[in-house]
Structure 1
Amino acid sequence: MSLSRRDLLALAALPALGACATTPAATDAPLGWAGVGKTTGGAGALPQHILDVRDRAGLDAALKLGDTPKIIRVHTLIDLGPGGAEAFRDPAFDFDAFDRAFDPATWGRADPKGPLEDARERSAKRQAAAIVVRVPSNTTLIGVAPGAGFQHGTLLLNKVSNIVIRDLRLSDAYDHFPEWQPRDNGHGEWNSAYDPVSLTGAERVWVDHCHFDDGSRPDHLEPIRLGRRVQHHDGLLDITLASDLVTLSWCRYQGHDKTMLIGGDDKHVGDDGKLRVTLHHNHFHGCKERTPRVRFGRVHLASNLFSADRAEDFGYSLGIGHQSRVVAESNAWELPPSVAASQLIRRLKGTALADRGGNRLNGRPVVLTAEGLSPDVGWRPEEAYDTTALRPGDANRLAEQIRASAGPRLG
């Protein structure tokens, strides 16, 4: 694996394994919107607030520091939800009984209610209480060993600020008790609750060199229940409820369906003026859609790679939603020949998309702006921050560079 000069400098700023921890270099800062917000995480933490964790107990103890600047160095893959469904299932809940009770052929399309649904909700609440980890302000979470990270849970950044998450694997936020919504899409759908990372009202957040996936149990392998395939995963990283000043860089998102929301609902008018997000040098591989799907936000997508091995693994990349203001430049798509250029974006009530040029599909220039979309999004990234480092030095080698360097840098 080859690393860019910038990556090597950033990696050099990490504390050596087994050595006395030090604060990451002050010059190792995010580009894009998180840089505008001067996002530093736990930089400046006192020596006693630089903590090494290897299990859930150690993580919980470190997070009790609250908003005190802290650097949490993660050494292992920590299971946030051990024990599976039986660890959380209410004694009154039974999966087969639930399916018999709410079969649309007999129950119809009314919402589930009664003792079985109450027991499912109690089970879901028990799981949420166990697996949702609230990350406080002024925190750096960083992986310092190969494979370090979190599985079977959610890192929730709720109404906090100044968070850095780096070099972690974030895997399989599995909802054991998804909700059955019998009228969703007209035929009913199973809907789950958790993302490996969720931003709700969070500000100044940098997620860098992380790996996101569904682990060994992707939803496409799940059984059919009540006529629909069960969904046990929600997104991989969602940014909602007026979150702001966020950069996602050099991350790998792999093998997922509805990958990333920026803006959760057309009715969330408080998102207007917020949801300023930069995505650069990320790799979305085998991600079917929502990479990302945007409402309201001023989102800059620069030098990202979108790829799939099979046409059926790709639906669309950029969802242009209500009042979204997306600028896309110098991105690369590597897709099967049967995928048309018109599939790269999907208009979802949006009216504008700025195609700044340099976008390529299978090595050839491609125009992203669809019929009915204005190129005027009302803002220019270079008026907010320096965009020079976000552009590829060699557009022909962008995919190669991202494949080599996206994801955690320690294995």
Structure 2
Amino acid sequence: MKRRHILALSALPVLGGCAATAPAPVELPLGWAGVGNTTGGAKAIPEHVFDVHDRAGLDAALRLGDKPKIIRIHTFIDLCPGGVEAFRDPEFNFDAFDRAFDPATWGRDAPRGPLEDARKRSEKRQADGSVVRLPSNTTLLGVSPGAGFLHGMVLLDKVSNIVIRDLRFSDAYDHFPAWEPRDNGHGEWNSEYDALSLRGAERVWVDHCLFDDGNHADKLEPIRLGQRVQHHDGLLDITNGSDLVTVSWCRFQAHDKTMLIGNSDGRITDDGLLRVTLHHNHFHACKERTPRVRFGRVHVVANLFSAERAEDFGYSLGVGIRSRLYSEHNHWELPPEIKADRLIRRLKGSAFTDRESRLNGQAVDILAAWAATHPGETMSADVGWRPDESYDAAALRPARPDQLVEQIRAGVGPRRA
């Protein structure tokens, strides 16, 4: 695989009472983030390189705002250490909420009144404490084994030029999910937090990270109001017109709705934005949305999708409204009862391209398999663009396709310092 040129950083002074060593050289990303010349905080002066060991140190570094900065994370920072009682409004009670809004007596109207108001106050208190907002021109690096963020969301909201590498994002747990009684016709619990969320962000590179739900898998949660409670949203969502994003060499594991690209069918202003490259990632036991795309020109190349159990797999690539999803050289390792037509799901989309992909080691024509099981429906194989027209896509294609799965399994996730 070809490599991009490297920006070298000078030696650093003593910071925060401990000797700061020079960070590793910063590679420029391939794919759409490379088109945007995404460098993060590479231009930081030595005084704007921070070694962070706790939340207080993180908040201090972020107060620098949009000036170029490098934030080196050394520990697994719990963004919500107090648990549910640290944020629960005194007037909110879970059992009382369920009794009040039981569909058998309340019906299918949206919750309202003092209990719902108290839930919203509780949710706001959690958000105020557990959401980290990254400013522009930031490099966020994990530099010690296990470095990352627990029980919270890292948010990139209307910012640009961000590099995030070698971090674990785990268990972005919403203690106060919203009950939406008409969702999917039977009602659903919907949570607020993604582990990492891009909203109107541009020029972002996420590389060698790990995303999971920690010890709180939603499938283990209780049934309330007739539906299993969902305390997690996405692992990495890219919405609200975000653009020029590359996600590479990351592991996503044991999650349901994993990655959303484009948040609404009606948000037509997203057309022309949401340009995203996903390469050399491993999606393991991720049930769906890996990714689910609306509007964007999304290149999904040289990724691995795997599951040991059929119940842990729904679909991989969601072809949403006006999406232009270009898939190539991807590998699926799935139970034998999962056939090729289930690798994609049509969600109002009209076009999908795939080439050189494999299911359990065998070449597969995904679009033809889907068409054979959906008579009367059509999807074009022409998505109206080719990655090679925009960047060096050849650098992302495997030189040895037979070795790709092994390379991904060995190479994804945070690298040890």
TM-score (normalised: structure 2): 0.94
Specify the alignment match of 1:388 in structure 2: 394
Which residues of structure 2 form unaligned runs of 5+?
A: 13-17, 372-377
Distance apart, 1:22 and its partner CA: 2.6
Distance apart, 1:403 and its partner CA: 0.5
Q: Which amino acid aligns with 1:162?
A: N
Give the secondary structure class of the aligned counterpart of 2:244. Answer: strand
Give the secondary structure class of the aligned counterpart of 2:123. Answer: helix
Q: Which amino acid aligns with 1:300?
A: H
- Tell me how large the CA RMSD over aligned residues is: 1.9
Query: Could you tell me how far apart the structure 1 residues matched to 2:401 and 2:146 are?
Result: 30
- Equivalent positions of 1:194-233 (< 5 A) are 194-233=193-232
Q: Which amino acid aligns with 1:241?
A: N
Specify the alignment match of 1:116 in structure 2: 115
Give the secondary structure class of the aligned counterpart of 2:257. Answer: coil
Specify the alignment match of 2:91 in structure 1: 92
Contact 2:258 2:290 in 1 (8 A): yes
Query: Could you tell me how far apart the structure 2 residues matched to 1:289 and 1:257 are?
Result: 6
Give the secondary structure class of the aligned counterpart of 1:287. Answer: strand
Specify the alignment match of 1:60 in structure 2: 59
Contact 1:287 1:314 in 2 (8 A): yes
Contact 1:195 1:234 in 2 (8 A): yes
Query: Could you tell me how far apart the structure 1 residues matched to 2:302 and 2:126 are?
Result: 38
Query: Could you tell me how far apart the structure 2 residues matched to 1:47 and 1:235 are?
Result: 35
Specify the alignment match of 2:374 in structure 1: none
Residues 1:403 and 2:402 are matched in the alignment:
no
Query: Could you tell me how far apart the structure 1 residues matched to 2:253 and 2:313 are?
Result: 12
Distance apart, 1:15 and its partner CA: 8.8
Distance apart, 1:230 and its partner CA: 0.2
Distance apart, 1:19 and its partner CA: 5.8
Identity of aligned residues (%): 70
Query: Could you tell me how far apart the structure 2 residues matched to 1:393 and 1:263 are?
Result: 32
Distance apart, 1:375 and its partner CA: 1.2
Structure 1 segments (4+ residues) deviating >6 Å:
4-7, 12-16
- CA 1:14–1:257: 2 relative to 1, 3 Å: farther
Contact 1:22 1:50 in 2 (8 A): no
Which residues of structure 1 form unaligned runs of 5+?
A: none
Q: Which amino acid aligns with 2:329?
A: S
Specify the alignment match of 2:298 in structure 1: 299
- Equivalent positions of 1:119-268 (< 5 A) are 119-268=118-267
Contact 2:165 2:209 in 1 (8 A): yes
Q: Which amino acid aligns with 1:103?
A: D
- Equivalent positions of 1:311-390 (< 5 A) are 311-355=310-354, 357-369=355-367, 370-371=370-371, 372-390=378-396
Query: Could you tell me how far apart the structure 1 residues matched to 2:299 and 2:29 are?
Result: 14
Contact 1:140 1:164 in 2 (8 A): yes
Q: Which amino acid aligns with 1:217?
A: H
Give the secondary structure class of the aligned counterpart of 1:288. Answer: strand
Contact 2:40 2:137 in 1 (8 A): yes
Number of residue equivalences: 403
Contact 1:213 1:236 in 2 (8 A): yes
Specify the alignment match of 1:21 in structure 2: 21
1:126-162 per-position Cα deviation (integer Å, ceiling 9, x unaligned): 0111111110000000000000000111111000000
Distance apart, 1:388 and its partner CA: 1.7
